[in-house]
Amino acid sequence: MKIYTPQNVDPLFLLNGQVPNEPLQSNERNIFIAIMGMTGAGKSTFISHCTDAKVAISDPGALQSCTQEVQVYRCKGFTPRTNVYLVDTPGFDDTNRKDTDILKEIATWLTTTYKKEIRLSGILYLHRISDNRMGGCAHRNLIMFKRLCGPEGIKSVIFLTTFWEKVDPTDGDNREKTLKSTDQFWGYFVDKGARVQRHWNTDDSAMAAIRNFVPSDTTQPPEEIKLAIQTEMVDSHKDLDQTSAGQELQSELQKEREKMQQEFNERAREIQEEKDQEMRDLLREDQERQARELQRRDSEIQELKISMERMHERKIQQLEERLLEEQNANRRHREEMEQMIRQLQTKHNQIEQRQIQQNQFDHEVDPYLTCLACKKEFYTRQDLFQHLEKFQHGRDLKTGKPEKYARPAGYQVPAIDPWLTCLTCEEEFLYRDDLFEHIEEFQHGRDLVTGRPERYTRPLGYY
């Protein structure tokens, strides 16, 4: 087996994150298993049982697939010398993507890896056993899968039924038997060597399905299969529309186009026969919509006429564009963060500047508070109180001496009589600050000229 390193693997493989950081060594078993099936069959949920990586999972039965591109996950639970990789693929019935785009996505990955001598060892095709019947979308998906694999690939397929917890066991058994015995469903595949297995939505059940493709003998090399679309496009150099899968999809698109053309012609006839102008306008709007649908179908058919090399070029171009978008998004995010940091720094500088100005103002006036214990002067009461608390430089009310040590537990401060009195209202105060606040609030000072108490507000402009 060839050794794969980031230098000799196609850029598409690397940009999709589909090669592990360490190279694939020739002395190790590297097993690739494709996970296929309709949208909502439980492919991503199944993979989440087998890997430690984070896997996006859609709601059961969702019409939009979580898997928009081929993604590869490393499987857990195997020996260091056995590497198992699960290849998650998008379903063909996604409401938001054309089947043409999905076929090109899968074909691009399969042909890229095939050229690099990376082979699949098996395919798990997931199917909801909870579906009452094989609908039109499921049947078309199955036919596309058949054309994609070819006779050699079919023998390495396991049909894995899911959502058994949502059905009655008897109903599930009957549906499974019908699928296996009907040639239009799984009968053809089973006759060619495909197998059927149940998945119980547990880690053990998922790992049991994976081990079908991992030889128990570590010296035995894994099986390697060639899918029809790989040999057709790589070995036979066919364009996508010339492959079996491409022809099948082209046939379906052509049928849809013919049906649309009939409806378009019928609408044109109705417009000519309709006498009411308002109804004719409505029919004409519907006909315009049909014309756009016809144009889209023609575009899809034309898109199938593409070579493997051109598919790879387009895919790499898409990945490069996406990478550029991510880089631009990261750049915008970085610029926004830098702007936010600058704004915060500016605000911080403003606060610091105001604090400096405040400190300068505080030091422009003489200190008016003094610690009686150590004679240190202070500009604010808060600074004095913090100093007294820190050094316990209060005064003992019994002895009048400065307190230089902690008071004993349970020490009670004796009550003393107030020694300050407002000369206006004769209210008494214990502290000078309380007296000054009272005088300021009620303007109970004394006029320095007359010596009388000021009982009223001073007139405007009074000096």
Please report the pLDDT score of residue 351 as a whole number. 87
Please report the pLDDT score of residue 250 as a whole number. 85
Q: Which two tokens stand for residue 261?
A: 């053309």
Whether residue 202 lies inside any domain: the answer is: yes
Please report the pLDDT score of residue 364 as a whole number. 58
Range of weakest confidence among 237-246, 327-336, 417-426? 417-426
Please report the pLDDT score of residue 254 as a whole number. 86
Please report the pLDDT score of residue 201 as a whole number. 92
Contact 433, 463 (CB under 8 A): no
Q: Which of 117, 212, 96, 105 is nearest to 155 (CA)?
A: 212
* Domain boundary residue, one of 178, 206, 238: 238
Residue 143 or 458, more confident: 143
Whether residue 364 lies inside any domain: the answer is: no
Say whether both 225 and 258 belong to one domain.
no
Say whether both 179 and 303 belong to one domain.
no
In CATH, what number is assigned to the domain containing residue 260?
A: 1.20.58
* Domain boundary residue, one of 238, 260, 292: 238
Highest mean pLDDT among 85-99, 123-137, 308-322, 417-431: 123-137
Contact 69, 94 (CB under 8 A): no
Whether residue 78 lies inside any domain: the answer is: yes
Please report the pLDDT score of residue 63 as a whole number. 47
Q: Give the model confidence (pLDDT) of 256-302 as tens digits.
A: 888 888 888 888 888 888 888 888 888 888 888 888 888 888 888 88
Q: Give the model confidence (pLDDT) of 176-216 as tens digits.
A: 999 999 988 999 999 999 999 999 999 999 999 999 999 88
Residue 49 or 219, more confident: 49
Q: Give the model confidence (pLDDT) of 31-40 as tens digits.
A: 999 999 988 8
Please report the pLDDT score of residue 20 as a whole number. 45
Please report the pLDDT score of residue 197 as a whole number. 95
Please report the pLDDT score of residue 397 as a whole number. 55
Whether residue 335 lies inside any domain: the answer is: no
Q: Give the model confidence (pLDDT) of 329-373 as tens digits.
A: 888 888 888 888 988 888 888 888 887 777 666 555 566 677 877
Q: Give the model confidence (pLDDT) of 61-113 as tens digits.
A: 554 455 568 888 989 888 778 889 999 998 887 777 888 888 888 999 999 88
Say whether both 294 and 210 belong to one domain.
no
* Domain boundary residue, one of 301, 317, 333: 317
Q: What values do phi and psi take at 242, rounded to 5?
A: -95, -10
pLDDT grade for 18, boundaries at 50, 70 and 90: very low
Say whether both 275 and 128 belong to one domain.
no
Say whether both 225 and 247 belong to one domain.
no
pLDDT at residue 120 greater than cutoff 90: yes
Range of weakest confidence among 145-159, 278-292, 401-415? 401-415
pLDDT grade for 168, boundaries at 50, 70 and 90: very high
Q: Provide the residue type at 313 as one letter.
A: E
Please report the pLDDT score of residue 138 as a whole number. 85
Q: Is 194 exposed, middle or buried (0-12, 13-18, 19+ CB in 10 A)?
A: buried
Say whether both 118 and 169 belong to one domain.
yes
Q: What is the C-alpha separation between 120 and 31, in angstroms, rounded? A: 7
In CATH, what number is assigned to the domain containing residue 229?
A: 3.40.50.300
Widest CA span of the chain, in angstroms?
Answer: 123
Please report the pLDDT score of residue 12 as a whole number. 43
Say whether both 84 and 226 belong to one domain.
yes
Whether residue 336 lies inside any domain: the answer is: no
Please report the pLDDT score of residue 460 as a whole number. 46
Please report the pLDDT score of residue 97 as a whole number. 80
Say whether both 247 and 231 belong to one domain.
no
pLDDT, mean over the chain: 79
Section 442-453 average pLDDT: 67
Whether residue 90 lies inside any domain: the answer is: yes
Please report the pLDDT score of residue 262 as a whole number. 87
Highest mean pLDDT among 10-24, 63-77, 131-145, 192-206: 192-206
Say whether both 63 and 195 belong to one domain.
yes
pLDDT at residue 413 greater than cutoff 90: no
Say whether both 231 and 274 belong to one domain.
no
pLDDT at residue 6 greater than cutoff 60: no
Q: From its phi and psi, is residue 41 left (phi > 0), alpha (psi between -120 and 50) or beta?
A: alpha
Q: How many domains does the chain have?
A: 4
Domain housing 221: 29-238
Contact 287, 265 (CB under 8 A): no
pLDDT grade for 58, boundaries at 50, 70 and 90: low
Question: Does pTM top 0.85 for this prediction?
Answer: no
Whether residue 308 lies inside any domain: the answer is: yes
Q: Is 438 helix (H, G, I), strand (E, B) or coil?
A: helix
Section 374-402 average pLDDT: 74
Q: Which of 260, 227, 212, 266 is nearest to 84 (CA)?
A: 212
Please report the pLDDT score of residue 194 as a whole number. 94
Say whether both 177 and 90 belong to one domain.
yes
Residue 395's DSSP bridge partners are 402
Whether residue 23 lies inside any domain: the answer is: no
Say whether both 441 and 386 belong to one domain.
no
